[in-house]
Amino acid sequence: MNAQRGLRLPRRGRVFVAGVALLALAGCNGGVAGLNAQATALLHERVAAVRAAADTEDRDAAIAAVDAFKAEIQRLVEAGDLTDSQAASLLAHADAIAADVLSEVLLPTPTPEPTATPEPTPTPVSTPSPEQVQVLQQETAERLTEMLRERLTEYVKQQMEEREAEERAAEQAAQAQEKAERKKAREAKRDRNHGGHDEN
C-alpha cells in the first residue's frame, strides 16, 4: 500500500460510515427549508466524497471529506441559508461519521523483541485482547464526540450572540433615526410658525 495513503478502515467501519453518510444525505435532501438547489447539490457532493473515501478504506480522506462537509455547513449558516438548529442537525451527522472513523483505529500487533543469541526463545509481547481493543475504541469515540459537541455548542452560542448584537444595533439605529425625524419635524413646524408671524 502507498505510504502516502491514509490508514485503511476495516470493512465493518466502512459500511457503518457509508450508512451514517446516507443519514446525513437524507437530512439535507429536501428537508432543509429555503436551501437552494446549488447549495443542496454541493452538500450532496460533500457526502458523496465521504462515501467514496469509505469505499476505498482511506481513513485520512474520510476525515478530510467530513471536515469539508462541516465547513460547507458553516458557510451556509454564515450566508443565512441555514438556521442554527438545521446546522446543528447536519453537523451531528458529520460528527457521528468522524467519531466512527476514528474509533475503527486498531492497535498494531507488537513484534517479538529480538535476542542476541539464537538459543533463548524470545517471549513475544502479549497482543491486546479484543476486549481491550474494544474499550480503547469506545474511549476514543467518546472523547471525540465530547470534543465535537463542545465545539458545536460554542459555535452555535457565538452565532446567537452575533445575531443578538446585530438586532440591538439595528434597533438602536432605528431609534436614532426616529428621534432625528421628530427633531426635524419640530424644526420645520417652528420655521412655519416664524414665517407666519413675519407675514403678519
Q: Give residue-wise pLDDT tens across range 146-179.
A: 888 888 888 888 888 988 999 999 999 999 999 9
Q: What is the pLDDT of residues 109-136, one digit of tens each?
A: 455 666 666 666 667 666 778 888 888 8
pTM comes to 0.41
Domain boundaries, the chain: 11-107+134-160
Do 43 and 66 form a contact (C-beta atoms < 8 A)?
no
- Of 1, 3, 8, give the one whose Cα is nearest residue 61: 8
> Which phi and psi (to 5°) does residue 8 adopt?
-85, 145
C-alpha cell at 43: 452538500
Residue 53 burial by CB count (10 A; 0-12/13-18/19+): exposed, middle or buried? buried
Q: How confident is the model at residue 137 (pLDDT cuts 50, 70, 90)?
A: confident
CA-to-CA distance for 66 and 101, rounded, in angstroms?
Answer: 10
- Of 5, 7, 44, 54, give the one whose Cα is nearest residue 24: 44
Average pLDDT over residues 14-20: 46
Q: What is the pLDDT of residues 49-62, one digit of tens each?
A: 877 777 777 778 87
Write the CB contacts of 123 (distance below 8 Å, at least 6 apart in sequence).
112, 113
